[in-house]
Amino acid sequence: MSGLSEFSLIKHYFEKISTPRSDVLLGIGDDCAIVQADTNQQIAISVDTLVEGVHFLPNADPENLGHKSLAVSLSDLAAIGATPAWFTLALTLPEVKEPWLAGFAKGLATLAKQHQIALIGGDTTRGPLSITIQVNGFVKSEQALRRDGAHVGDNIYVSGTVGDAGAGLKLKQNQLLAQQDKQLQEAFLQQRLDKPTPKVDLGRDLRGIANSAIDISDGLVADLSHILEKSQVGADIELEALPVSSALADTVSREHAEQLALYAGDDYELCFTAPPEKHAELRKIKDSYTKIGTITGNPNKMVFYRGGQQIELTGKGYEHFSIED
């Protein structure tokens, strides 16, 4: 193991990540971690695995990877409206490369600190590169933002902008031609793919306002359809309302941007529904969000409009677009 044992690796790179928290009674270094649960709150738990070649490209920048591994799990806590508390890390490494570990630990530690989430334990094994993070957060009883709470008449909102990470991936895979005078826009789109920002504050602010929420990991249509299915409702979506960043708008046509916004994943924005009477409360929230449609009574049916006119989408997503677009 190039002179670094598993124990010293953990001690050197991961013990210091641990954000101090008074509710961690026993952290990294024993057989189990012990935490003090707050009896007034419920605990939200989620786990995600990222595998090299499946969820990220081989030779991905380790610092971005450290960030993204935690960001995708924090995004699940955000989507249910939970406050991050603790996480564990199961790391499978083909070999011990210290510069890689240092970069990975830095990306992880920086985001962990921002959200006051403590690394309390994990496992380290040898094998093909794979990263599993399990997060735990707090949510007050009955306040979780679930997928099954959408009501007919709710407005449908999406936070920030969507489609950026999808365009970033296409750029990375050379499926979108890099344009000479668009370096800044392209850097922004790649950043959105590599270092997503989990909307933890927004999720927390939506407690008591939103009837349902989900984070956008697989694409707006795919993720919103989970809300429709769990809530047994439908959705009318206005395509012209889809929030697209200026970087994306500068890089592809409006129609292509809409396709990316609808079908590409990895943006880690929140899609949520709230009744019209919550409008004033929603306006106090500092994160940006856009109304893109309304919840209807047709179970599992998503209907798309452009300028009020109903339109048919092929459902094939962005695949049919040429690389010149």
Residues that bind ligand ADP (CB under 6 A): 10, 14, 28-31, 89, 91, 119, 121-124
Dihedral angle computed from the Cα positions of residues 230, 236, 239 and 243, in that order, rounded to the nearest 10 degrees? -50
- Based on CB atoms, which residue is closest to ligand ADP, 132 or 217? 132
H-state helical runs in the chain: 6-9, 62-80, 98-114, 164-172, 183-194, 200-205, 220-231, 246-251, 254-263, 279-283
Nearest distance in Å: CB 33, ligand ADP: 6
- Based on CB atoms, which residue is closest to ligand ADP, 18 or 211? 18
Nearest distance in Å: CB 129, Mg ion: 18
Distance (Å, rounded) from C-alpha 291 to C-alpha 93? Answer: 43
Distance (Å, rounded) from C-alpha 295 to C-alpha 145? Answer: 16
Distance (Å, rounded) from C-alpha 12 to C-alpha 74? Answer: 24
**Taking CB within 5 to 8 Å according to partner kind, which of Mg ion, ligand ADP, none is near residue 145?**
none
The only residue of 15, 123, 240, 255 in contact with Mg ion, by rule CB under 5 A: 123
- Based on CB atoms, which residue is closest to ligand ADP, 69 or 231? 69
Distance (Å, rounded) from C-alpha 166 to C-alpha 242? Answer: 15
Nearest distance in Å: CB 13, ligand ADP: 8
Region near Mg ion per CB under 5 A, out of 123-131, 186-194, 226-234, 306-314: 123-131
Q: Does 148 bind Mg ion (CB under 5 A)?
A: no
Distance (Å, rounded) from C-alpha 62 to C-alpha 104? Answer: 5
Nearest distance in Å: CB 124, Mg ion: 7
**Taking CB within 5 to 8 Å according to partner kind, which of ligand ADP, Mg ion, none is near residue 150?**
none
Nearest distance in Å: CB 88, ligand ADP: 7
Distance (Å, rounded) from C-alpha 279 to C-alpha 44? Answer: 27
Burial category of 153 from C-beta neighbours within 10 Å (exposed 0-12, middle 13-18, buried 19 and up): middle
- Based on CB atoms, which residue is closest to Mg ion, 4 or 241? 4
Nearest distance in Å: CB 88, Mg ion: 10
The contact set with Mg ion (CB under 5 A) reads 123
